[in-house]
Protein backbone atom coordinates (compact mmCIF):
# COMPACT_ATOMS: atom_id res chain seq x y z
CA UNK A 1 0.00 0.00 0.00
CA UNK A 2 0.97 3.65 -0.26
CA UNK A 3 3.19 5.09 2.41
CA UNK A 4 3.18 8.55 3.91
CA UNK A 5 3.52 11.23 1.27
CA UNK A 6 4.52 14.85 1.67
CA UNK A 7 4.26 17.76 -0.70
CA UNK A 8 6.10 19.70 -1.86
CA UNK A 9 9.39 17.85 -1.61
CA UNK A 10 11.23 21.16 -1.70
CA UNK A 11 10.06 24.65 -0.91
CA UNK A 12 12.09 27.83 -1.27
CA UNK A 13 10.57 31.00 0.08
CA UNK A 14 11.56 34.46 1.15
CA UNK A 15 11.76 35.71 4.69
CA UNK A 16 8.38 36.94 5.87
CA UNK A 17 6.30 34.80 3.52
CA UNK A 18 3.65 32.24 4.45
CA UNK A 19 4.07 28.54 3.60
CA UNK A 20 1.95 25.43 3.82
CA UNK A 21 3.34 21.92 3.94
CA UNK A 22 1.09 18.96 3.30
CA UNK A 23 1.12 15.44 4.67
CA UNK A 24 -0.91 12.46 3.46
CA UNK A 25 -0.72 9.69 6.06
CA UNK A 26 -1.14 5.99 5.49
CA UNK A 27 -4.82 5.24 4.97
CA UNK A 28 -6.49 4.20 8.22
CA UNK A 29 -3.82 5.64 10.50
CA UNK A 30 -5.45 7.77 13.16
CA UNK A 31 -2.27 9.24 14.62
CA UNK A 32 -0.20 11.83 12.76
CA UNK A 33 2.98 13.57 13.83
CA UNK A 34 5.01 16.49 12.55
CA UNK A 35 8.73 16.79 13.20
CA UNK A 36 11.43 19.24 12.21
CA UNK A 37 14.93 18.05 11.41
CA UNK A 38 17.81 20.50 11.23
CA UNK A 39 21.13 19.61 9.65
CA UNK A 40 23.10 17.19 11.78
CA UNK A 41 20.26 16.61 14.22
CA UNK A 42 17.61 14.03 14.85
CA UNK A 43 13.96 14.87 14.28
CA UNK A 44 12.39 17.18 16.85
CA UNK A 45 8.73 16.79 17.69
CA UNK A 46 6.36 19.59 16.73
CA UNK A 47 2.76 18.38 17.04
CA UNK A 48 0.73 15.19 17.33
CA UNK A 49 -2.82 14.60 16.07
CA UNK A 50 -5.17 11.88 17.20
CA UNK A 51 -7.94 11.99 14.64
CA UNK A 52 -8.87 15.57 13.91
CA UNK A 53 -7.64 17.07 17.14
CA UNK A 54 -4.18 18.16 18.17
CA UNK A 55 -3.46 15.93 21.16
CA UNK A 56 -0.10 17.53 21.85
CA UNK A 57 1.26 20.72 20.29
CA UNK A 58 3.95 21.33 22.88
CA UNK A 59 6.71 21.14 20.29
CA UNK A 60 5.54 24.06 18.17
CA UNK A 61 8.27 26.68 18.63
CA UNK A 62 6.01 29.75 18.58
CA UNK A 63 2.67 31.05 17.38
CA UNK A 64 3.90 31.42 13.80
CA UNK A 65 3.50 27.65 13.49
CA UNK A 66 0.08 26.05 13.20
CA UNK A 67 -1.19 22.71 11.94
CA UNK A 68 -4.59 21.33 11.06
CA UNK A 69 -6.11 17.98 10.22
CA UNK A 70 -9.75 18.83 9.54
CA UNK A 71 -11.00 15.45 8.35
CA UNK A 72 -8.68 13.22 10.30
CA UNK A 73 -6.49 12.25 7.36
CA UNK A 74 -4.49 14.89 5.47
CA UNK A 75 -2.68 17.43 7.59
CA UNK A 76 -1.24 20.83 6.74
CA UNK A 77 1.56 22.53 8.65
CA UNK A 78 1.35 26.29 8.26
CA UNK A 79 4.18 28.70 8.96
CA UNK A 80 3.53 32.43 8.99
CA UNK A 81 6.12 35.19 8.58
CA UNK A 82 8.87 32.68 7.86
CA UNK A 83 12.35 33.31 9.24
CA UNK A 84 15.70 32.00 8.06
CA UNK A 85 15.88 29.86 11.17
CA UNK A 86 12.81 27.95 9.99
CA UNK A 87 14.93 26.36 7.25
CA UNK A 88 14.91 22.62 7.90
CA UNK A 89 13.41 19.36 6.71
CA UNK A 90 9.85 18.93 7.96
CA UNK A 91 8.95 15.30 8.46
CA UNK A 92 5.50 13.82 8.85
CA UNK A 93 4.78 10.40 10.32
CA UNK A 94 1.66 8.38 10.95
CA UNK A 95 0.83 5.38 13.10
CA UNK A 96 -2.16 3.14 13.44
CA UNK A 97 -3.63 4.21 16.75
CA UNK A 98 -0.99 6.30 18.48
CA UNK A 99 -0.18 3.75 21.16
CA UNK A 100 3.22 4.14 22.75
CA UNK A 101 4.44 0.93 21.12
CA UNK A 102 3.03 1.82 17.71
CA UNK A 103 5.51 2.05 14.89
CA UNK A 104 5.62 5.45 13.25
CA UNK A 105 5.98 5.47 9.48
CA UNK A 106 7.66 8.54 8.09
CA UNK A 107 7.26 10.39 4.84
CA UNK A 108 10.18 11.63 2.74
CA UNK A 109 9.97 15.12 4.20
CA UNK A 110 9.71 18.64 2.82
CA UNK A 111 12.94 20.60 2.65
CA UNK A 112 12.11 24.21 3.47
CA UNK A 113 14.62 26.91 2.64
CA UNK A 114 13.94 30.46 3.76
CA UNK A 115 16.10 33.02 1.96
Partner 1 sequence: AQKITQTQPGMFVQEKEAVTLDCTYDTSDQSYGLFWYKQPSSGEMIFLIYQGSYDEQNATEGRYSLNFQKARKSANLVISASQLGDSAMYFCAMREGGSYIPTFGRGTSLIVHP
Give the interface with partner 1 as residue ranges (CB under 8 A): 31, 33, 40-45, 48, 55-56, 59, 89, 91, 93, 98-109, 111
Residue 49 or 114: the one with the smaller Cβ distance to partner 1 is: 49
Residue 79 or 91: the one with the smaller Cβ distance to partner 1 is: 91
Q: How far is the CB of 38 from partner 1 (least distance, A)?
A: 10
Residue 82 or 110: the one with the smaller Cβ distance to partner 1 is: 110
Q: How far is the CB of 115 from partner 1 (least distance, A)?
A: 21
Task: Collapse the DSSP code of 5 into the 3-class scheme (helix H, G, I; strand E, B; otherwise coil) and give the result.
Answer: strand
Q: How far is the CB of 16 from partner 1 (least distance, A)?
A: 26
The dihedral formed by the CA atoms of 48, 50, 54 and 58, expressed in degrees to the nearest 10: -30
Name the H helices within 1-115: none
Omega prior to 8 cis, within 30 of 0: yes
Q: How far is the CB of 97 from partner 1 (least distance, A)?
A: 10
Amino acid sequence: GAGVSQTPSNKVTEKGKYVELRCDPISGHTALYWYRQSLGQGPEFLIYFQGTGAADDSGLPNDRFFAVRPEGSVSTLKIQRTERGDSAVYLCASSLIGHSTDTQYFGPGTRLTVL
